[in-house]
């Protein structure tokens, strides 16, 4: 693999991570779930030792949550290319939350906000493009 191929993989994986938070904030759960492989594993930052396994179960876990206002900020992402079809990534995540507001109104921020944590990802190239094979969150501070 040459430097240009490695950089292209890094850019594709960075885009996947950014797209994930944007779709998550839009609460487009179907699109979020489709960023995982069919057999992916996901652990929320608040429960890093509890894995949700499989795309269908990941989708169900998102749709089961009550609606809320949220905004994720992702930073300090470093993608390490393993080979042409596998990569690992580490990102810092900041989550601001609030109660869902009426249309045209701003939500009130939740007292637990912001949450600061991380995501450690295993990424794979699939027929659908780069996808999360495993996404493990963690918190850096107690809410």
pTM > 0.75: yes
Give me the CATH number covering residue 100: 3.10.450.50
Structural domain boundaries, residue 129: 3-139
* Average pLDDT of the residues in 73-88: 98
Q: Which two tokens stand for residue 32?
A: 């979020």
Please tell me the predicted confidence (pLDDT) of residue 130: 98
Question: CA–CA separation, 130 vs 79, rounded Å?
Answer: 13
Question: CA–CA separation, 41 vs 135, rounded Å?
Answer: 6
Question: CA–CA separation, 49 vs 51, rounded Å?
Answer: 6
Length of the chain: 143
Number of domains in the chain: 1
């Amino acid at each position: 693999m040459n430097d240009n191929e490695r950089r292209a993989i890094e850019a594709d994986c960075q885009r996947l991570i950014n797209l994930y938070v944007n779709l998550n904030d839009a609460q487009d759960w179907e699109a979020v779930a489709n960023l995982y492989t069919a057999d992916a594993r996901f652990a929320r930052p608040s429960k890093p030792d509890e894995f949700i396994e499989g795309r269908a179960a990941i989708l169900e876990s998102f749709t089961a949550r009550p609606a809320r206002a949220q905004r994720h900020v992702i930073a300090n992402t470093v993608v390490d290319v393993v080979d042409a079809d596998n990569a690992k990534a580490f990102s810092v995540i900041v989550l601001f939350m609030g109660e869902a507001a009426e249309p045209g109104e701003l939500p009130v921020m939740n007292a637990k906000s912001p949450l600061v944590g991380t995501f450690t990802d295993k990424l794979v190239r699939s027929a659908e493009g780069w996808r999360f094979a495993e996404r493990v969150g963690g918190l850096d501070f107690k809410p």
